[in-house]
Structure 1
Amino acid sequence: MTRHLEPTQASAVAFMRREIAGEFVMLNLLRFRAVADYSAHPDLAPETPISGADAFDRYIAHTLPFLSASGGELLFVGEGGPFLVGPADERWDRVMLVRQASVRQFMDFAGNAAYLAGIGHRRAALEDSRLLPLVPL
């Protein structure tokens, strides 16, 4: 199974080539680990093991101030479940919609050193993910 946790160089180039003007929304599909894996970020690890969902909640708590400061906004967070239309064997535990003010502000947010200091919670939490930029018609 191929996991998708970070943008590839090719996907980042394709995103920039879209030349999105103005606001856009990021659709996040998230599949959590049963137990968060902090092996790559032991400095962020809690004293006792926690679930991937709990680790992601820590990531969100850390991230929201930086998202807001960049002009972004968490629009929706919801629990996933089985598809009505889609693969029966595919599962997404949580879905999020995040509005970004602009590509430039998103890139500034994503490169913010203080934000990146807590990204280990996201990496510990996720088994797999998808991130789809959406633009209004």
Structure 2
Amino acid sequence: MAQFYIDPSASNFQAFKDLPRDEPIHMLNLLQYRELAEYPEGHEHHGNGWSGRRAYEEYGKTSGPIFSRVGGEIVWRGAFQTMVTGPDGKDWHDGFVAQYPNSGAFFAMIKDPDYQLAVVNRTAALLDSRLMRFSPGESGGGFG
């Protein structure tokens, strides 16, 4: 049976918190949207018929100012085309790399009360996702 991921496990989030907090980070995001967004009952967007992609756009609109305020920026974005190496049947809709000045900026974003309201849109939007932290390296040149 397929396993889906929307939020980090406690152990994965602890591993993230245990890494250095004073250096720039890149966060690779892979997104698979729900056909129809699933908002909790009573939420202002519940039952509005939005697609998962539309709900994620709302997440971007509502979380974007907080992301910018903490110094975040998108350094790469792409639309999925096909899996070359990886499991069959695992199609991502979109991917992007978010850069933060340090992990403290990421923590400041997710603790912000306005972000906590905005993230409901992300949860409603996604069927599956991956979020991976990388230390930025040099770009350009070859593989080595």
TM-score (norm 2): 0.87
Conserved? CA contact 2:63–2:114, under 8 Å: no
| CA distance in 2 between partners of 1:41 and 1:27 (Å) | 31
Aligned counterparts of 2:75 and 2:19: Cα–Cα separation in 1: 23
Tell me the amino acid that sits aligned with residue 3 of structure 2.
Answer: T
Residue in 2 aligned with 1:35?
36
Deviation at 1:129, TM superposition (A): 0.4
Q: How does 1:1-137 map to 2 (within 5 A)?
A: 1-38=2-39, 40=40, 42-45=42-45, 48-137=48-137
Query: In the TM superposition, what is the alpha-carbon distance from 1:46 to its structure 2 partner?
Result: 6.0
CA shift digits 1:39-81 (9 cap, x unpaired): x263231663011001101100111110010011122332112
Whole-angstrom distance in 1 between the partners of 2:48 and 2:14: 39
Partner of 2:140: none
Helix, strand or coil for the counterpart of 2:85? Answer: coil
| Root mean square deviation of aligned Cα | 1.6
Consecutive aligned runs of 4 or more in structure 1 exceeding 4 Å deviation: none
- Contact 2:22–2:104 (CA<8 Å) still a contact in 1? no
Q: CA deviation at 1:116?
A: 0.9
Paired with 1:24 and 1:122, the residues of 2 have a C-alpha distance of: 21
- Whole-Å separation in 1 of the counterparts to 2:21 and 2:43: 36
CA distance in 1, matches of 2:120, 2:77: 20
Report % sequence identity: 26
Give the structure with higher Rg (CA). Answer: 2
**Which structure 2 residue ranges, 5 or more long, are not aligned?**
138-144
Who is 2:142 aligned against? Answer: none
Measured in 1, the distance between the counterparts of 2:76 and 2:136 equals 17
**Structure 1 length as normaliser, TM-score?**
0.91
